[in-house]
Structure 1
Amino acid sequence: MGPIDQGVLGAVTMVCGTRPELIKLAPLIRLIGTNATVVYTGQHYDTAMYHRIRQDIGRPGRFHELNVGGGRRGAQLGAAVAAVDEVLAQHPTRAVIVQGDTTSALAGALAANANDVPLVHVEAGLRSFDRAMPEEHNRVAIDHLADLCCAPTPLNRTNLLAESVPEERIAITGNTVVEALVAALPGRDAEAGVLASHRLERDGYVLATIHRPENVDDPVTLETILRELNRLPLPVVLPLHPRTAKRVSGFGLTSLLIRLRVVEPQAYPAFLALARCAAVVVSDSGGIQEEVSVLKRPVVVVRRSTERPEIEGTFGTLVPPGPRMGTEVLRWLEDVPGHRERLEQIPSPYGTGSPSVRIAAALRHLVGGEPVHGALSLESPGREPAVVPPPASRRPAARVPHSNSSS
């Protein structure tokens, strides 16, 4: 899929700061081409992770690195808003696009609002209904600031309508993870090479990723998770997130990594190879819950709540840290070939085809570009039609007012 006509949308700015955001925005970056400006806040500040992030995306017209880095959430958010605001002041844009529910996404939304620039939220309408989750606050705030909410699923649209988000501001687009994954998925030879490099066999290991604050910032919870992983009957491959590595060391839990196959964070294609060939995945990641539905693998979701209930009971099971982790993994291990065959027949709830084309079609409505039928011609035969909102005023009626005053 090549870039769209550069005159259609004009300059569009995408604000992000983590690897998952860039991976999911990559199809849209490629579609918009050189008119896409990427503002990378540096929320993921680990050097190795950053270089892998840059390998995972296409070539936008501009790439701004803000180097906000880590730190306390409030300070990080404030620094990111100020830095993005400066970029928007220097480089006019027709719309700001943010993805997901990170601190960087909220910073982009607030900066767009402060500059009176139309805001597009990709992956809108996800709700865990868990107010203890910082991301829940972020995603709710972004959705209510957004001029266009790109909802991956009908359930996400229902969530938005329940919060009185106007129907004309919502488009059901599917999730861009579908096309990002398909584009990055390695061939069988490359996949075999990844397995060989880690001395693994297909269906002969468990893949685990743990990084969420609720799981790694508390020493008791983190120790519980690591001990449960150590009890599993298959080798456990653990790509160690920088946050997790720091907590393991700080809490004196390094000995619990000895029996696990700890590896560095993987490039996206290599990670997909590991996930596709795993007997089961254990994770607290939101994105992995989506990816397994495309890869047709089971996941045990280690969290107190999830904003992606669409996979519950099919591809995933939600469990709290503790003994149920092992119970659910063992259930999936009882018949790995049978589960593979069954999951292959279940469609992903996150759509097919090209969600990025649908997002671009809806974006044209927002910025007053080509009519929607012009966007539909970009889709190849067999792809699902775009679901876009009807024409609406450029500024939403419920726009949150802003002021230059400090009060």
Structure 2
Amino acid sequence: MPWPADLGPVICVVGARPNFMKMAPILRAFADHRPALPALLVHTGQHYDRDMNDRLFSDLRLPHPDINLEVGSATHAVQTAAVMQRFEPVLDERRPSCVLVVGDVNSTLACALVCAKKDVPVVHVEAGLRSHDRAMPEEINRVLTDQIADRLYTTERSALANLTREGVAEQRVCFVGNVMIDSLLANRQLAHAPAKTLQAVGVDPALIDDRRGYAVVTLHRPSNVDRAETLQALLAVLREVSESVPLIFAMHPRTRANVERFRLGDLLSSPRIVLLPPQGYLEMLGLLAGARLVLSDSGGLQEESTALGVPCLTIRENTERPITIEQGTNTLVGANPQAIRQGVHEILSGAGKSGRIPEFWDGRAAQRIAADLATWLLARHAQRAG
């Protein structure tokens, strides 16, 4: 049976790098479902680097956007307002059956708000995750998007308790698993070898042949990189850690700018620390898969390291992904140098977490979303037609 001609497409929104990894398997699942779910990909342009953007779309086999709003970087308020202003005409013109948003970036909330005002159903993938830290802009985006959403897809069962506590009806929620892991499993065999990634930037791969392997580092959260004292302390302990294990530091533009602004570059001037620009998905996946450990403040790397069985030290005081601690390879160490030292020592001595793969992190989360969403949309359509 074909998709009803009078039932509009699913508008799928991406705005920042983590969204791409989540959306790629969803779009493939929509195309493979029978009947196929018609989809329209909208890129808000919240984060946009032309070279990196093209690489990510190619790596993930993600179709290029049907519409790019090109909002660019700005303050939270300006960026959110710009997305709302440019997204509203898209709704008016395309008349979608629903709008699907992923994650917790400003674009996620902005598009959901427009839908709420226009009476367009909102579908939120990765719903119910909570750090319980309202100082994080992402936490506000998560909470508000979940209040607006009509259909909420969760990555772990504990998310339901967060949602019901906030008054979200259980019948709006569906546990499907983690689409980020769908991308990881689909691309694991295509990942670039770490030696190839280092050679591409002129680094001798012999650096990572040490018997202890290497560590992957990323830092980008404002709480870690926007204050000189905090960033200096973190870079100092990373320099110290590099004496025990070489570091491959994929440096976010925000972090690089602050290292220069605070004149902290000398702390990273070591043959045991490799500084890389932001990497493509396949390069980063290869680096993670081959690492002895990960030091990061990224939410996505907590999940990916758990899926890969690589110990992860998360440089944050909290996490919205508790399953990576309870079942996975993740340990919170905050920005505490002593906790970081101790965590690295334990991992290198063989005492790091081995973890296990959480429920429904099996590469089929997107298929479950497609099946449920098709049923839900067709039932709504039939109800309205009747």
Alignment of 1:350-361 (within 5 A): 351-361=361-371
1:283 to 296, 321, 332: 296
Once residues 6 and 224 of structure 1 are traced to their aligned partners in structure 2, the CA distance between those partners, rounded to angstroms, is 57
Q: Please say if residues 80 and 106 of structure 2, whose CA atoms lie closer than 8 Å, have aligned partners that are also in contact.
A: yes
Once residues 65 and 313 of structure 2 are traced to their aligned partners in structure 1, the CA distance between those partners, rounded to angstroms, is 39
Unaligned runs of 5+ in 2: 32-36
Q: What letter is aligned with 2:366?
A: S
Q: Please say if residues 178 and 350 of structure 1, whose CA atoms lie closer than 8 Å, have aligned partners that are also in contact.
A: no
Q: Please say if residues 160 and 173 of structure 2, whose CA atoms lie closer than 8 Å, have aligned partners that are also in contact.
A: yes
Aligned to 2:311: 298
Q: What letter is aligned with 1:36?
A: A
- Give CA-to-partner distance per residue, 1:217-260, whole Å, 9 cap, x none: 22211111111111111111011111212222222222222222
Aligned to 1:223: 232
Aligned to 1:264: 277
Q: Please say if residues 282 and 299 of structure 1, whose CA atoms lie closer than 8 Å, have aligned partners that are also in contact.
A: yes
Alignment of 1:41-80 (within 5 A): 41-60=44-63, 62-80=65-83
Alignment of 1:332-343 (within 5 A): 332-335=347-350, 343=354
Aligned to 2:113: 110
Q: TM-score, normalised by structure 1?
A: 0.83
Once residues 136 and 292 of structure 1 are traced to their aligned partners in structure 2, the CA distance between those partners, rounded to angstroms, is 22
Once residues 53 and 11 of structure 2 are traced to their aligned partners in structure 1, the CA distance between those partners, rounded to angstroms, is 20
User: How far off its partner does 1:190 sit?
Assistant: 4.4
Aligned to 2:342: 327
Q: Please say if residues 101 and 135 of structure 1, whose CA atoms lie closer than 8 Å, have aligned partners that are also in contact.
A: yes
User: How far off its partner does 1:114 sit?
Assistant: 2.1
Unaligned runs of 5+ in 1: 372-390, 395-407
Aligned to 2:286: 273
Once residues 45 and 268 of structure 2 are traced to their aligned partners in structure 1, the CA distance between those partners, rounded to angstroms, is 28
Distance change in 2, residues 1:322/1:363 (3 Å): same
User: How far off its partner does 1:195 sit?
Assistant: 6.0
Please, what is the CA RMSD of the aligned residues? Answer: 2.6
Distance change in 2, residues 1:276/1:293 (3 Å): same
Tell me whether 1:201 sits opposite 2:214 in the alignment.
no
Q: Please say if residues 105 and 138 of structure 2, whose CA atoms lie closer than 8 Å, have aligned partners that are also in contact.
A: yes
Q: Please say if residues 44 and 68 of structure 2, whose CA atoms lie closer than 8 Å, have aligned partners that are also in contact.
A: yes
Aligned to 1:404: none
Alignment of 1:5-404 (within 5 A): 10-33=8-31, 35-60=38-63, 62-186=65-189, 190=193, 193-194=196-197, 198=203, 199=205, 200-201=208-209, 204-232=213-241, 233-259=244-270, 260-312=273-325, 314-323=328-337, 324-335=339-350, 343=354, 346-349=356-359, 351-368=361-378
Matched position secondary structure for 1:13 = strand
Once residues 136 and 275 of structure 1 are traced to their aligned partners in structure 2, the CA distance between those partners, rounded to angstroms, is 26
Matched position secondary structure for 2:245 = coil
Matched position secondary structure for 1:303 = coil
Q: What letter is aligned with 1:308?
A: R
Distance change in 2, residues 1:160/1:370 (3 Å): closer
Q: Comparing 7-16 with 121-130, which one deviates more in the overlay?
A: 7-16
The number of equivalent residue pairs is 366
Matched position secondary structure for 1:186 = helix
- Give CA-to-partner distance per residue, 1:275-312, whole Å, 9 cap, x none: 11111000000011111111110100001211111121
Q: What letter is aligned with 2:15?
A: G
Once residues 318 and 220 of structure 1 are traced to their aligned partners in structure 2, the CA distance between those partners, rounded to angstroms, is 20
Once residues 21 and 251 of structure 1 are traced to their aligned partners in structure 2, the CA distance between those partners, rounded to angstroms, is 31
Q: What letter is aligned with 1:235?
A: P
Distance change in 2, residues 1:370/1:148 (3 Å): closer
Matched position secondary structure for 2:167 = coil
Q: Comparing 295-304 with 39-48, which one deviates more in the overlay?
A: 39-48
Distance change in 2, residues 1:210/1:250 (3 Å): same
Q: Please say if residues 181 and 291 of structure 1, whose CA atoms lie closer than 8 Å, have aligned partners that are also in contact.
A: yes
Q: Please say if residues 316 and 335 of structure 2, whose CA atoms lie closer than 8 Å, have aligned partners that are also in contact.
A: yes
Matched position secondary structure for 1:69 = coil
Query: Percent of counterpart pairs with the same letter?
Result: 37
Once residues 70 and 189 of structure 1 are traced to their aligned partners in structure 2, the CA distance between those partners, rounded to angstroms, is 30
Distance change in 2, residues 1:350/1:328 (3 Å): farther
Matched position secondary structure for 1:24 = helix
Q: TM-score, normalised by structure 2?
A: 0.87
Matched position secondary structure for 1:22 = helix
Q: Comparing 88-97 with 295-304, which one deviates more in the overlay?
A: 88-97
Once residues 168 and 245 of structure 1 are traced to their aligned partners in structure 2, the CA distance between those partners, rounded to angstroms, is 45
